[in-house]
Amino acid sequence: MPLPTTRVFPHGWSAHHRPAATDTMTGQCVITRAATQIHSGACRVIADRSDMRASIGAQDLLTVRYLITVRYDVNDVEPGDIVEITDAADGGLVGRRFTVAEVRYGTQQWERDLYATDEHTSLPGYSQQLTIVRAPLVTGYGNSLTWDWPNASRTPALAAVTPLASTETTGARDEVTTTYTCQAPAGTDVRVTDRVEWDSRTFQVDGEPQAIPHPLTGAPHHVEFRLRIDEGG
């Protein structure tokens, strides 16, 4: 126990150490929320080494965590904010973007600790070029509504495409049904009524597309949907 006339933490203990802590922040970063800048200034980035695998929709992805430290008086950062490194001695950091997962606070503190995930490691490789085909709904014969595929719009999109299943029905005419799982960037506009052109074939969107959130922050992560094609028959 401290003596009656002393304190474990003397007055001004945190304030005394803050300048030294700030001097160790040799990088520069910008923190944004949507299109709004929250903070710009010095930072320090350290690999946290608590990497983990997370299932995000149908994906099993490696999430690499980092400890990003900013000045003690940065008080308005929230989970889901984006930290972009704008200057660092390690050129590989410059331009990298991290998603804030946790913000740490304390009664005695010299700096603000942000635990964040590297966006580059938690996204699938969108290497396949698709075309989303969307037909307008028009009034046809007898005032019935019908899809006008000859006048459909075509929108290019990128996606990760993975084979899901293939089944064969035999009989008078053999038919093969093949399905694929697709992951596209968050915000991709694809609907259950669309068709998709890929690999020189035309597929049906099988079921409602789903917007998948990031499991740590809840921010939009990617859009997931299935493709189906029936051949033969």
Spell out the per-residue pLDDT of the chain, length 233, in tens: 566 777 777 787 778 788 898 899 999 999 999 889 999 999 999 987 665 666 666 666 667 889 999 999 999 999 989 999 999 999 989 999 998 989 998 888 889 999 998 855 555 678 899 999 999 999 877 778 899 999 999 999 999 999 999 998 877 677 899 999 999 988 999 999 999 999 999 999 999 999 988 766 677 888 999 999 998 76
Q: For 230, which DSSP code?
A: E
The CATH H-level (homologous superfamily) assignment of domain 13-121 is Bacteriophage SPP1 head-tail adaptor protein (2.40.10.270)
Which architecture characterizes domain 128-232 according to CATH?
Answer: Beta Barrel (2.40)
Cβ 212 vs Cβ 223: under 8 Å: yes
Map out the domains of the chain as residue ranges.
13-121, 128-232
Q: For 150, which DSSP code?
A: G
Q: What is the pLDDT of residue 231?
A: 87
- Among 80, 65, 55, CA closest to 183: 55
Q: What is the pLDDT of residue 2?
A: 60
Domains 13-121 and 128-232 share a fold: yes
Q: What is the pLDDT of residue 220?
A: 83
Measure the CA–CA gap between 113 and 12, rounded to whole angstroms.
20
Structure tokens at 121: 């490691």
Cβ 98 vs Cβ 82: under 8 Å: yes
Cβ 92 vs Cβ 85: under 8 Å: no
Q: What is the pLDDT of residue 65?
A: 85
Q: What is the pLDDT of residue 69?
A: 95
Measure the CA–CA gap between 156 and 153, rounded to whole angstroms.
10
Q: Is the pTM of this model over 0.75?
A: no
